[in-house]
Every structure is written in C-alpha cells, then in structure tokens.
A and B are shown apart, each in its own frame.
Chain A
Amino acid sequence: MLRTVLSRVSTRLSRLSVCHYSAAAIPAPNTQPDVQYNKLFINNQWKDAISGKTFPTINPATGEVICQVAEADEADVEVAVKAARNAFALGSPWRRMDASHRGLLLNRLADAIERDSAYLAELETLDNGKPYAISYAVDLPTVVKCLRYYGGWADKWEGKTIPIDGDYFCYTRHEPIGVCGQIIPWNFPLLMLAWKLGPALATGNTVVLKTAEQTPLTALYVASLIKEVGFPEGVVNILSGMGPTAGAAIARHMDVDKVAFTGSTEVGHLIQQASGSSNLKKVTLELGGKSPNIILSDANMEDAVEQSHFALFFNQGQCCCAGSRTYVQADIYDEFVERSAERAKRRVVGDPFDLKTEQGPQVDQEQFNKILGYISSGKREGAKLMCGGGVAADRGYFIQPTVFGDVQDNMVIAREEIFGPVMQILKFKTLEEVVTRANDTKYGLAAAVFTKDIDKANYVSNALRAGTVWINCYDVFGAQAPFGGYKASGNGRELGEYGLDNYTEVKTVTIKVPQKNS
C-alpha cells in the first residue's frame, strides 16, 4: 500500500516537472510552518518541565535549530503517570465510556488530522527531513487510516464464553492493561504515534508517550487535536525528552503496567532489562533489522531493480525493515548491479520541501557520522563501491545514494544495521543456500522474494524467519496486517487484530450455577 501510494507520488512528481498546470494533488508547502506547541502535554494541559529545562530540535536539512522544546525528566514522568493512573481509575469517564464512543473519538482524531494534514506534513518534513511530497502523500494518509482502523475495532474486541467442565458459567473479558508507556522513534514520527495510540486507546488504556528527541514537534500538535476532539484529561500524555532520562524513567516506573518501544535493538535490550528489574511490566518491542531481499533469476528485472531500490532507499534508508541485503541470483547478478547503480545515480537528493526531491537529509549528525563510518568500513573490507560513497551537500546531513557490489556475508555492512542510503548487493547460486544465508542473522523483521514461480515463492516465504515476507513487492503495509519481528527484531506484533493483544489483559470470570446445561 505504501508502495502503491509511492508509485502514484512518483508519477505525480515526474508529471510536475513537465507540466506546470497539471492538477497536482500535492499542495505547495509552507517551508516555514509555525511551531504552535512546544511544552509537555499532561492532563490535557500544556506544562513546562519541572526542571525548567528545554532542548533544541534541529532542521536536518540545514543543521539549524527550529525551536526549543520542554524537556521531560523523571519528575515529569511521575506527574504524567499519575495523571494517566487517575484517568484509568474505576468509575472514571474513560473507564465508563462505551467502547463504541472510544472508537468515535479515534475517528474524530483521524478526521482532525486529515483536516490539518498539509500543516502536519510541513512540520514533519521540517523536523525529520523527509521529502514533503512523501509526508503529504504517504505518511499523513497512512496515519489517518491507522487511526480509523483502530477506531473501528474499539467495540469489536470480544472475549469468549467457554464450555468449562463442571457446574459453572465461564467467560473472558478483554480488559485494558492500564497505564501504558510508549516510546517512539524519529524515522516516522506521526506514523509511529498512530501505531501506538490506535490500539492502546481502542482497547481502553491510558498512555504516557515519549517522542524521539530528534522529532518532538508533530506529536505535540496532535496532542492539541486529542484535546480538541474530546479525549478525557489524562488519557493521553505526551512528553518530549531523552532516552536515558525520560525514556528510562518510563521503562523502570513501578506504576506503568506496560511499555511499548520502537527503536534500536541496543536500547530494546535495556527496556526489557528495566522491566525485569522494576515491576515486570509487559514489554513489546519493535527493533532493528537487516532484511534480506531475494531476487531469483526468473524475476521481472526492471520491476525487481526498482522495487529493490525503493526497499533500501525509502525514507533515506531509515526504515527498520529496509531491504539492506539484496541477494541476487548469479546469472542475473551483473546486470542487476549495473542497473541498481544507474538507478541510485539518478536518485534526486535535495531540499525536502522541493516536490521533485526523492531523498532528504539523514535525521541528525550522529546518524550522519555513523553511516559515513559504515561506508568506510565497506570500502576497507573490500566491497566494490558502484556509486555514491560520500557527503551530498555542504550543509545539513545529506549522504549520496551509495551502492556496494560484491558484498560478502561476513562484512560489517552485511551484518549490521546501517540505517542510511547504502545498498548491499550479494550473489547466490541456489535457493537452499540463499535461505540459509538470509536466515543467518540475529534479526528477523522482514524479507522479500522476487520470482514468478509459485513453488519457489511458497518455499522461500515459508522458510524465511521473518515477521513479514513480501512476494514481488516491498514495504507494503496496511493497518490491517500485523507487523513485527522474529528474534532480536522484537517481541509482539503491531497492527491488525493481533495488535490489540498487546494492549489487553484477559480476565476469566467463572460463576457457579445451580445446574449447567449445554
């Protein structure tokens, strides 16, 4: 779905450059959107941090500060958790609300976001660096659809009645877990917010959500919409802050019932440990990946090259599920590499607010340095640099679209998550071999196979140890389809009906009856 929307976008983009008066669906952006909210959002109110501290958020296209934002620390987390706990108390407006009304509120939030989507897309692009055409045509509609999807689930998440042995009537209730801590990353700020709030609120929980320090702004605007559409106070609390302070405070808080984290595997380990050493809060994790994209020799070459390019380079390479190990069957390998390099050279890197731009900057200096470091290691370890390999502009965090051929499985660039516009293309001979090599990783988030052969498609998709397997496509997401990782790519699934499990406590109620009958 992401892919389909994207191909509509790229058609629009190429049409735009040719024909000035075409009915472009993407409105010209305001390149300096106002920041209306920069405080902490607790109990439907805007507050300064208790410490008074603020931190800057940077525009990655220029390296300049956009504004200061209130910085939450442990004390603010404490206040937010109290607010969320109050909002969850038995008899509270949120607990007494019809499930269908929770769904209605989520739908209204979706409507409000849709109404303000041009502005939100501008703010997202300013803070994250992703091209505006993508924020507007992909991120925002996907956010709206996710919230509407979960709005629809609110009154449909049913327990069971159970034919238990004995003179009893037995049923289960699907109850909310309680106060949920949610820590989200910077690569899809609005979308990650929707993926977290949707299922948590549909099932009746209350939330303390910490945004990534690189991208706090759009969530704060959504907070104002949460209040506007009528969520009771304390149900959603949004804190900007740093991982080691505010994030850690959430993960180890004794009165947070569950934590959901999306981010690096490295920090995922810390979150799980914090749960174990505090109150054993339930943990779900969406972590990193080094996803294999397998191209068989009978694949449609043109399609496979374009999709593989998209699979790696989308969102400046900053996707947990990026297809960062492209395995190409030997007899089509050379042509594939050549075509991939040619496509990467054509990738338009530039100002995110320019509608022709395909690739914006990386999100910050740290990521920028890290990616350049990986590129160096690729060169050092003997991979063949086909194109790119360096910085793309004088200011901001732009990196050239980079392609390495002749990559070996044991190279650092083939094992570690780069999270940047660096493509690794590896050669394989047989199906059994590539499945073994593809699975030889601590990660297991996504995978893909390109082939026309029905038996090969089934064999590979069944054999790969990955939470999502795409066949003849990549990065196809839907609010309806569960997403998550095997192994160190995470625990639990988000999206779909499965996504509700993570936010539910099942209560079994057993009533003695005078005489059971079937």
Chain B
Amino acid sequence: MASLQLMPSPVPNPEIKYTKIFINNEWQDSVSGKVFPVYNPATGEQICEVQEADKADVDKAVQAARLAFSLGSVWRRMDASERGRLLSKLADLVERDSVYLATIESLDSGKPFLPTLFVDLQGTIKTLRYFAGYADKIHGTSIPMDGEYLTFTRYEPIGVCGQIIPWNFPLMMTAWKLGPALACGNTVVLKPAEQTPLTCLYIAALIKEAGFPPGVINILPGFGPTAGAAIASHMGIDKVAFTGSTEVGKLIQEAAGKSNLKRVTLELGGKNPNIIFADADLDLAVEQAHQGVFFNAGQCCTAGSRIYVEEPIYDEFVRRSVERAKRRIVGSPFDPTTEQGPQISCEQQNRVLEFIQSGISEGAKLECGGKALGLKGFFIEPTVFSNVRDDMRIAREEIFGPVQQIMKFKTIEEVIERANNSDYGLVAAVFTNDINKAMTISTAMQAGTVWINCFNALSTQCPFGGYKMSGNGRELGENGLKEYSEVKTITMKMVAKNS
C-alpha cells in the first residue's frame, strides 16, 4: 500500500478548457446556439455544458474537411513522412499532458484514474505512434499486366471521413480512428459520444498545437440521432466509421445505402465466449475470466460475458469466481485502490439492473451482487450468475455491465457449437494447456480475435474487428489502413514491354 504513494496523482480541481465545436482549427459555437450538459457518473452531478452540434454544424465541418482535402491543398501536397511527423508530435503532446487527460477521462467516464493513466493513455499514445510510423509505408504495387502496358496502383486517401465514437474508451477510440485516417491522408469529421466529449475536445487543441493544417480534423460534440445521423447520411462524406451498439450500426449502414453509398466500417457489440478446459491453469483462468468480464465496469465490446467451463472444474471455478467478485473494490474513480467505477449513466445503470432481474426471473442462480451500490452515481455491485442456460436473455444479449455468466459444458464439439451460436462474433478465448485443443478452438471460433490463455490482449499492431453482426472491417494493424485507402490502378501504354 505504501507504494501507492509513489503513483501519479490526478490533477486536483482540473480546469475544463474546451467546450466548443472545433472546425478549421477554430473554436465555434453551435449554429443553433444549443448546449448540452456533461455529467460525472461517479456523483451524477453536472461537470459543465458543451456546444451541441447538429446538422448545420456538420455541414460546416464537411465543407472545411472537403476544402482541406482539395487537390493542391497543404494536406494533399504534404510528404507522407511529414503526415507521420505530425501524428508523432500529437503523440508526444498527449504524453506530455497525460496526467491531465487521465484526470478528465476519469471525471467524465467514471473509469478509475490509475488504469486510465497506465492503460488508456498508453494505448492512445502507442496507437498514434504506430500509425505515425505507417504514413510513408503505404505501398501500392507495380504489376506485370498482360499487354504492352506499364501498370501500377496508388493507395490514395478516400477523402472526407466521418467518424463516430463511443463513450467506453473516449481517448483510445479517438486514437484508433484518427491514427489510420490521417496516416492515409484523409480529412476527418469526428463526433465523440455525448456522454464523454471532454478529452476529445482537448485532443483537438493538441491537434492544432501539433501543426495539423486547418480543416484536416474537425470535432463535433453532439447526439447520435442529430449530429451522428447527419454524418451517416451526408452526401459530402466519403466514408463513415462507427463504433457503438449493433442496433445503431444497422442504422448507419442503412443511412449510407440511402445516401451516397459511402464506405462503411463498423465495430459493434459482442457476447463473447470464454472457454475454460479442465486442464487449464485454474488460477490464471479465474482471474483472466474475472477481468475479462468486469474490466471497465463491464463496458467493453470484448467483455467475456459467456464463460463456458468444462464440467469437471465447474463448481470450483464458480466458487473461485464468486470469491474474486466479492473482493472487487467498487468506489470513486480517484481512489487509487478502486478497481471498478460507476456505469456511464443512469440509463445504462437501469439497463444493467433490468438484465440482472431477467436473469433472476429466468432461473439463473444469483451467486453474488445483483444490486445498485450507493446513493450517488451509477454504481452496480459485481454480479455473478451460475447455472446459466444459453437461451436466457443474460446469455444472449449484450449487458454492458459488471455481470458474469458461467455455463457448463461437456465436450469440445458441444462448446464450439454453443459458442458460435450467436449473431455476434467479436472475440473469443480459450484456456487450456493442450496444444490440440487450442488450435482446434481458435480455428473454429467465428470471432475476429481469439485469445489463447489470455484475455483482452490487444495491441495496436493487431487487427481487431467482428465477424457477423459484431461489425465490418478491421481496425489497427496494417489491415486498419486498408479501410482508409482507395486503390487507383494506373495503366500506361508502353512502346515495347520487356520483363
């Protein structure tokens, strides 16, 4: 405990510097004059008000982004390596201000401060640096085409990219979106979630400080049905990238189809299976399964929310998981001993509590937790259900809260079928010491990421995304760049081709 005194502390009474709309490197009020409140989910109190972007503001932003993208503009004429330098500088600035950013992120989202500093901030910085390094390494090819031709491909930026990000990892999601888009030379209109606009707006100030030309990145705080929908259906936006619920993902795809067939990438929900075999290292599996579902108060698209445990170790696994859940420290995000902060909002908290009720009424066994915690803020007790059947709502639908479902299985063929029996397909995990089981499960899972003897092992080098209704396309890694490029084939008549 003494070592906690050596840990960095949050900024006391942090000033909220930026609450306006960021277009063309300038701070602007909303066209309508409307503002909206931003809350501290640990207390339920209002932090401040922020300018609310709507369709008129989106139009302005798109115009700015389109101008910044025009042929001959500073951004289009810039060396790719220089785009990389700007991203690198942005990463350095985020690193410089990381304690402040972690403080605001905790305040706005309820995430515990120290994990935010060590995980979210580091992830943000590393992602920006990774894509900074890629900017001048996006290669087309020269092609041995039939006929008297010289042919090659150029990987060009798509153009103006709309990006809509969620509230569960505000800073990291900003980096995941800006990194590849800017490395490839696009311009951006980005809408942060209405619950968590503050760190994104601070990043806007750093974007200007780093030296990005005006109009390259525009940040519009606002709501989904207004600003978000305006982006998805805008005729002047060439691509939309959305991370959020599957429900809204479907709306985005529809809007793209109805408007200008803009390219769509989606990172949506999950109901991710975590398969524990009897030969697994039990301590490791219990802890990883615990963190896998409870991390970020359960508010992860990757939450391992269906834990399939092989029959021989089932009872012991449940016992240890319950004991671990009871030990999970729920408290103020700024208390350095806190493991779990509040849910993001009253609405989310109610939704989770409603799922818990359905679990009870559908006959799952409530092993611990189950109730809201405290009088202020949106806290929920770490909750564990055992004897969960696959057809229960808590086993089929994404809860997005601190609720763990543990199921029993007998054979490997059975668990593969049950794990894949979902409209989702984001991640999966398997815990086993047997190489054959590991290879079989990892090949069989219909999931974009499979973890073997680990969970939530994410890194900016690795492509991430969903099968089925968990999404379209991949983020991060080299694959992430493909989604932000248009390939142009150039074929030139040659006088006499030679190999």
Interface on A for B, CB 8 Å cutoff?
99-100, 103-104, 107, 145, 148-149, 151-156, 158, 169, 454-455, 458-459, 462-463, 478-480, 497, 511, 513-517
A517 contact set on B, CB distance < 8 A:
443-444
Would you call B498 an interface residue if the criterion is a C-beta within 8 Å of the partner chain's C-beta atoms? Answer: yes
Which of B29-37, B105-113, B125-133, B207-215 is the interface stretch? B125-133
Is B133 touching A156 in the complex (CB atoms < 8 A)? yes
Is B439 touching A513 in the complex (CB atoms < 8 A)? yes
Would you call B139 an interface residue if the criterion is a C-beta within 8 Å of the partner chain's C-beta atoms? Answer: yes
Interface bits B413-455 vs A (CB < 8 Å: 1, else 0): 0000000000000000000000110011001100000000000
Is B130 touching A497 in the complex (CB atoms < 8 A)? no
Which of A103, A152, A455, A516 is packed against the most chain B CB atoms within 10 Å?
A152
B126 contact set on A, CB distance < 8 A:
100
Task: Say what secondary structure dominates the interface of chain B.
Answer: helix
A156 contact set on B, CB distance < 8 A:
130, 133-134, 137, 461, 478
Whether A169 touches B439, Cβ cut-off 8 Å, given contacts A100-B130, A459-B495, A517-B444, is yes
Whether A515 touches B440, Cβ cut-off 8 Å, given contacts A152-B132, A153-B133, is yes
With A459-B496, A517-B443 given, name 12 new contacts (CB 8 A): A99-B461, A100-B129, A100-B461, A103-B129, A148-B88, A152-B135, A156-B461, A169-B439, A480-B136, A511-B435, A513-B443, A514-B439
23 contacts between A and B (CB under 8 A): A100-B129, A103-B133, A148-B81, A148-B85, A149-B81, A149-B136, A151-B133, A152-B132, A154-B133, A156-B461, A156-B478, A158-B478, A169-B443, A454-B492, A458-B150, A479-B136, A480-B136, A497-B137, A497-B139, A513-B436, A514-B436, A514-B439, A517-B444
Interface contacts (Cβ under 8 Å), in number, total 80
Is A462 touching B130 in the complex (CB atoms < 8 A)? no
Per the bound structure, the CA–CA distance linking A514 and B432 in Å amounts to: 15
Q: Tell me the minimal C-beta distance from B130 to chain A in angstroms.
A: 7
Is A155 touching B495 in the complex (CB atoms < 8 A)? no
Q: Tell me the minimal C-beta distance from A345 to chain B in angstroms.
A: 35
Would you call B494 an interface residue if the criterion is a C-beta within 8 Å of the partner chain's C-beta atoms? Answer: yes
B80 contact set on A, CB distance < 8 A:
480
Q: Which residue of B lies closest to A150 (CB)?
A: B133
Whether A511 touches B498, Cβ cut-off 8 Å, given contacts A151-B133, A497-B137, is no
Interface bits B460-499 vs A (CB < 8 Å: 1, else 0): 1100000000000000001000000000000010111110
Would you call B84 an interface residue if the criterion is a C-beta within 8 Å of the partner chain's C-beta atoms? Answer: yes
Is A462 touching B440 in the complex (CB atoms < 8 A)? no
A155 contact set on B, CB distance < 8 A:
130, 133, 461
Per the bound structure, the CA–CA distance linking A101 and B80 in Å amounts to: 22
Sorted from nearest, which 10 A-B pairs have the closest CB atoms? A152-B133, A513-B439, A455-B495, A480-B136, A155-B461, A514-B436, A459-B495, A458-B494, A514-B440, A517-B443
Is B137 touching A107 in the complex (CB atoms < 8 A)? no
Q: Tell me the minimal C-beta distance from A250 to chain B in angstroms.
A: 31
Per the bound structure, the CA–CA distance linking A100 and B126 in Å amounts to: 8
A100 contact set on B, CB distance < 8 A:
126, 129-130, 459-461
Per the bound structure, the CA–CA distance linking A96 and B128 in Å amounts to: 23
Q: Tell me the minimal C-beta distance from B260 to chain A in angstroms.
A: 33
A511 contact set on B, CB distance < 8 A:
435, 439
Per the bound structure, the CA–CA distance linking A515 and B442 in Å amounts to: 12
Per the bound structure, the CA–CA distance linking A480 and B85 in Å amounts to: 14
B498 contact set on A, CB distance < 8 A:
462-463
Whether A458 touches B492, Cβ cut-off 8 Å, given contacts A152-B133, A480-B136, is yes
A479 contact set on B, CB distance < 8 A:
81, 136
- The answer, among B81, B439, B459, for a CB contact under 8 Å with A145, is B81
B129 contact set on A, CB distance < 8 A:
100, 103-104, 107
B440 contact set on A, CB distance < 8 A:
513-515
Q: Which of B341-362 contact A (CB under 8 A)?
A: none
Per the bound structure, the CA–CA distance linking A152 and B133 in Å amounts to: 4
Q: Tell me the minimal C-beta distance from A500 to chain B in angstroms.
A: 11
A169 contact set on B, CB distance < 8 A:
439, 443
B132 contact set on A, CB distance < 8 A:
152
Q: Tell me the minimal C-beta distance from A397 to chain B in angstroms.
A: 36
Q: Which of B266-300 contact A (CB under 8 A)?
A: none
Q: Which residue of A lies closest to B461 (CB)?
A: A155
- The answer, among B88, B139, B461, B492, for a CB contact under 8 Å with A107, is B88
Q: Which residue of B lies closest to A101 (CB)?
A: B126
A104 contact set on B, CB distance < 8 A:
129
Q: Tell me the minimal C-beta distance from B124 to chain A in angstroms.
A: 14
Q: Tell me the minimal C-beta distance from B43 to chain A in angstroms.
A: 38
B492 contact set on A, CB distance < 8 A:
454, 458
Per the bound structure, the CA–CA distance linking A153 and B492 in Å amounts to: 32
B136 contact set on A, CB distance < 8 A:
149, 152, 478-480
Per the bound structure, the CA–CA distance linking A459 and B435 in Å amounts to: 56
Per the bound structure, the CA–CA distance linking A151 and B91 in Å amounts to: 15
Per the bound structure, the CA–CA distance linking A511 and B434 in Å amounts to: 13
Per the bound structure, the CA–CA distance linking A158 and B462 in Å amounts to: 10
B135 contact set on A, CB distance < 8 A:
152
Per the bound structure, the CA–CA distance linking A452 and B492 in Å amounts to: 15
Is B137 touching A153 in the complex (CB atoms < 8 A)? yes
Which of B85, B459, B478, B495 is packed against the most chain A CB atoms within 10 Å?
B495
B460 contact set on A, CB distance < 8 A:
100
Per the bound structure, the CA–CA distance linking A99 and B137 in Å amounts to: 17
B435 contact set on A, CB distance < 8 A:
511
Is A458 touching B439 in the complex (CB atoms < 8 A)? no
Whether A462 touches B439, Cβ cut-off 8 Å, given contacts A152-B137, A155-B461, A480-B81, is no
Whether A152 touches B443, Cβ cut-off 8 Å, given contacts A462-B494, A479-B81, is no
Per the bound structure, the CA–CA distance linking A478 and B81 in Å amounts to: 10
Q: Tell me the minimal C-beta distance from A46 to chain B in angstroms.
A: 31
Q: Tell me the minimal C-beta distance from A382 to chain B in angstroms.
A: 36
Q: Which residue of B lies closest to A154 (CB)?
A: B133
B133 contact set on A, CB distance < 8 A:
103, 151-156
Q: Which residue of A lies closest to B132 (CB)?
A: A152
Q: Which residue of B lies closest to A456 (CB)?
A: B495
Q: Tell me the minimal C-beta distance from A157 to chain B in angstroms.
A: 10
Q: Tell me the minimal C-beta distance from B475 to chain A in angstroms.
A: 15
Per the bound structure, the CA–CA distance linking A367 and B461 in Å amounts to: 48
Q: Which residue of A lies closest to B131 (CB)?
A: A152
Per the bound structure, the CA–CA distance linking A54 and B36 in Å amounts to: 74
Q: Tell me the minimal C-beta distance from A426 to chain B in angstroms.
A: 24
- The answer, among A454, A455, A480, for a CB contact under 8 Å with B137, is A480
Q: Which residue of B lies closest to A106 (CB)?
A: B133
Which of A100, A104, A154, A511 is packed against the most chain B CB atoms within 10 Å?
A100
Per the bound structure, the CA–CA distance linking A455 and B494 in Å amounts to: 6
Interface bits B114-154 vs A (CB < 8 Å: 1, else 0): 00000000000010011011111101000000000010000
